[in-house]
Amino acid sequence: MDLEHLNGASLLITGGTGSFGKRLVATLLERGRLSRLVVFSRDELKQSEMQSEFPPTRHPALRYFLGDVRDRDRLHRAFTGIQHVVHAAALKQVPAAEYNPFEAIKTNVLGAQNVIEEAIDRGVQSVVALSTDKAANPINLYGATKLCSDKLFVAGNAYVGAGPTRFSVVRYGNVVGSRGSVIPFFRKARAGGVLPITDPRMTRFWITLQQGVEFVLDALREGHGGEIFVPKIPSMRITDLAEAIAPGCRHEIVGIRPGEKLHEVLVPEDDARNAVDLGDRFAILPAFRSAASDAWRGRGRPLADGFRYASDTNDRWLTVEDLRAIVDAPEGA
C-alpha cells in the first residue's frame, strides 16, 4: 500500500508496544517517511524491549512516550503536534475483564473518551480506533466496553464542530499469533498429545497481523469520519486449526468458557440496515448525517434485509492446509 499520504506527517499509536502496535511501527518505518512516529504505552519494560528492536538512533522519527490513556493530562502532552492517531490501547482479556470490570471500563471506555476529547482539542486530523468482533452483540464485558468505545468514536464526529478531526473505527476478528491467542496455547499443549477444545462446532473469523495493519492504514487514508469498517475475511473451524497446529493429537472437549460465543458476528442484522458493501469490506454508517454516510452510500451497495455477517455463515473458509501455511509463515508475512 502506498503511504505517500503520510509523508512528513506525525502519527501516534496508543498501546504501541502490543502485537499490533509493533507490527504497525515496523511497517511504517519500512515504507513510510513520517516526520514523527510516537509509541504511547504504559509499560516501561515493553518500551525498553521495543527500543532494542527499533532504536531511535537508527530511526530518528521514532519517539517512546510513557503514559496511560486513562490520564488525559498525559494524552494532552503526547498529542502535541500530532496529526494522526491509531488507538490500539485496550484491556482485552475476556476473563480478566469479567473479574476486573471497573479497570476494563476505565481503560476501554473512559480512555476512549480521553482520546476523543484530546484529539479534538489538539486539532488531530484523523483517528482510527481498533475494535473487535466481540463488540457486535456482546455477551461479555470486554465486548460491551468495546461496543461503547465504538459508539463514542462514531459520535465523536458530531463533537468536532468546525475542527479538522475525523474519527473512524475498524472491526475485525481473531488475529493470527497475537498475544493471548489460541495458536501459542495449542503449540504449547501439543507436547502433551492432548488439545483442549471448547466446542468442535466453534468458528471464528481469521486475519493475519499484517492484514490488520494494512486495513488500519487504509482506513486512515480513506475514512471520512463516522464509519465502522469491517473487512471481508475468511472463517475457520477450531478443529481445523487444532489439526493444522497439532496433527494427531487427541481433542478433549472442555466446553465453552463464560463470556464466549459459539460463533462470532462482525455485522449484526440491526447494523446491516445502515451498512453498505464496498467490495472487499463493509462500512457500517452512522445513524446521523455525516460526511461518511454521504460518501459511502453513493459508492457502496446497500445490504439485503436480514443480512448478517457471521463466522458460521461466511462464504470464505480456511482449510487445514491454508491454516498451516498461515501459522507457519515467517514473521512479517
pLDDT of residue 331: 58
SS3 string, 236-293, reads EEHHHHHHHHCCCCEEEECCCCCCCCCCCEEECHHHHCCEEECCCEEEECCCCCCHHH
Mean pLDDT value across residues 125-132: 97
DSSP 311: T
Helix/strand/coil for 60: coil
Q: What is the Cα 320 distance to its own chain's centre?
A: 25
For 15-25, write each residue's pLDDT tens digit. Answer: 999 999 999 99
In this structure, what C-alpha cell is assigned to residue 135? Answer: 463488540
Please state the length of the chain: 333
pLDDT of residue 295: 81
pLDDT of residue 91: 96
Percent of the chain at pLDDT above 70?
97
pLDDT confidence bin for 179, thresholds 50/70/90: low
Whether the Cβ atoms of residue 280 and residue 232 lie closer than 8 Å to each other: yes
Domain extents in the chain: 4-173+207-232+265-309
- Over the chain, what is the mean pLDDT? 93
Taking residue 17's Cβ as centre, other Cβ atoms within 10 Å add up to 24
For 255-310, write each residue's pLDDT tens digit. Answer: 988 888 999 999 999 999 999 999 999 999 998 777 677 788 888 999 999 999 99
Angle at 204 between CA 189 and CA 259, to 5 degrees: 80
pLDDT confidence bin for 322, thresholds 50/70/90: very high
Cα distances (angstroms) measured from residue 134 to each of 125, 140, 227, 229, 324: 28, 8, 18, 15, 25
pLDDT of residue 296: 85
The C-alpha cell 459511502 sits at: 296
Dist. CA 114–CA 137, nearest whole Å: 25
For 71-112, write each residue's pLDDT tens digit. Answer: 999 999 999 999 999 999 999 999 899 999 999 999 999 999
The C-alpha cell 462446532 sits at: 201
Shortest CA distance to 245 belongs to which of 326, 317, 312?
326
Q: Which residue has the higher pLDDT, 2 or 138?
A: 138
Percent of the chain at pLDDT above 90?
80
Tell me the whole-structure pTM to 2 decimals.
0.94
Active site residues: 134
DSSP 108: I
pLDDT of 333 over the 60 cut:
no
pLDDT of 128 over the 70 cut:
yes
The C-alpha cell 453513493 sits at: 298
pLDDT of 329 over the 80 cut:
no
Shortest CA distance to 236 belongs to which of 314, 170, 132?
314
pLDDT of 180 over the 70 cut:
no
pLDDT of residue 257: 82
pLDDT of residue 161: 87
Mean pLDDT value across residues 153-178: 91
Dist. CA 281–CA 169, nearest whole Å: 13
- CATH number for the domain whose boundaries are 4-173+207-232+265-309: 3.40.50.720
pLDDT of 217 over the 60 cut:
yes
pLDDT of residue 177: 64
Dist. CA 73–CA 83, nearest whole Å: 18
pLDDT of 2 over the 90 cut:
no
pLDDT of 332 over the 60 cut:
no
pLDDT of residue 330: 64
